[in-house]
Amino acid sequence: MNTNTDKSTISVVVPVFNEEECLEEFIERTAGVLGGMEETSELILVDDGSNDASPAIIGRAAEKYGGYIVGIVFNRNYGQHRAILAGFAEARGDIVITLDADLQNPPEEIPRLAAKAREGYDVVGTVRVDRRDTCFRKLFSWIINRMTAQATGVRMRDYGCMLRAYSRPVVNAILQCPERSTFIPVLANTFANRTAEIEVSHSERTSGESKYGFTKLVNLQFDLLSSMTTFPLRLLSFIGAIISMMGIGFGTLLLVLRLILGPEWAVGGVFTLFAILFFFVGAQFIAMGLLGEYIGRIYLDVRARPRYFIRERVGRSSLPERTGKKI
């Protein structure tokens, strides 16, 4: 440990979307954990356009813990990752920790995460041991983790767990990125030099429900893949090339068999041809869909609208303000 570590400051950034059932408990527990740590800290709660009592709870908490809790309220729902970005723009700490408000990631893990980050890691990820989510979610995550590791070249076992710590340089780098669709853990890894993963426990959601329905989940995965890398596009051409070669090979085979076995046989092959045709048409649709995803995102970035609008800001932090450009 070096001398700076004594002075290190921590920002905890939490996106909140309709979490009235658990938010109070979350704030109490997190404040308790942070209060027990040596470092000076701040808790930044970003309300992502909730239409329940969450903004009011944040407002009350900001009053109760003056100089310590900062609340940011969006004018509508922009999604978890944009909420975190707003929190990053506000954060003043040397280490920035993100976690969910639903208590699935226990706030009691924060000190361990901070300790690991202080060892000099740019990003500290977490792996959910004994993950408490539906089988469908787990399977989805498994596939995505594999693909992401391939695409980014940074092996991490659990990209989906949002309980993570980021160093100040990585947060600054993320804030410099103007793109609209982002998946923060992956974006962070593109700027990180040293990364580590620790195991944390995971609990079931005790109140409220997951804010990720099927469509939102699919959307998030597309954001993840398309915004960080062009790997899927390359994969697409690769698969396309293989399919075409198989097509040519198959065509030749059919021709040869037709010559050897005669025209009666070939009539029997009509349905095989249909099957092949469907296969190609399907492959093309997948390819076009994927291209559409990229083009859609390019369109959004070309329009370059602000990523979010803040309706209200409550509370203040007692951490020293950071100078330098923020976006």
Binding interface with ligand UDP (CB under 6 A): 15-17, 19, 48, 77, 79-80, 83, 100-102, 104, 210-212
The nearest distance, CB 160 to ligand UDP, in angstroms, is 7
| Nearest CA-CA partner of 162 in 196, 124, 136, 218 | 124
The nearest distance, CB 49 to ligand UDP, in angstroms, is 8
Q: Which is nearer to ligand UDP, 17 or 65 (CB)?
A: 17
The nearest distance, CB 91 to ligand UDP, in angstroms, is 16
> Residue from 18, 104, 126, 221 that binds Mg ion (CB under 5 A)?
104
CB-based burial, 49-67: b 16+ in 10 Å, e otherwise: bbeebbbebbbbbbeebee
Q: Which is nearer to Mg ion, 106 or 240 (CB)?
A: 106
* Residue 102 is a binding residue for Mg ion (CB under 5 A): yes
Cα(265)–Cα(159) distance, integer angstroms: 53
* Residue 19 is a binding residue for Mg ion (CB under 5 A): no
User: What is the layout of strands, in order, in the sheet containing 195-201?
Assistant: 195-201, 123-129, 164-167, 95-98, 9-16, 40-47, 69-74, 310-314
Count of residues touching Mg ion (by CB under 5 A) = 3
The nearest distance, CB 212 to Mg ion, in angstroms, is 8
The nearest distance, CB 33 to ligand UDP, in angstroms, is 17
Cα(205)–Cα(217) distance, integer angstroms: 17
- DSSP reduced 3-state for 4: helix
* Residue 122 is a binding residue for Mg ion (CB under 5 A): no
| Nearest CA-CA partner of 84 in 215, 183, 225 | 183
Chain residues binding Mg ion by CB under 5 A are: 100, 102, 104
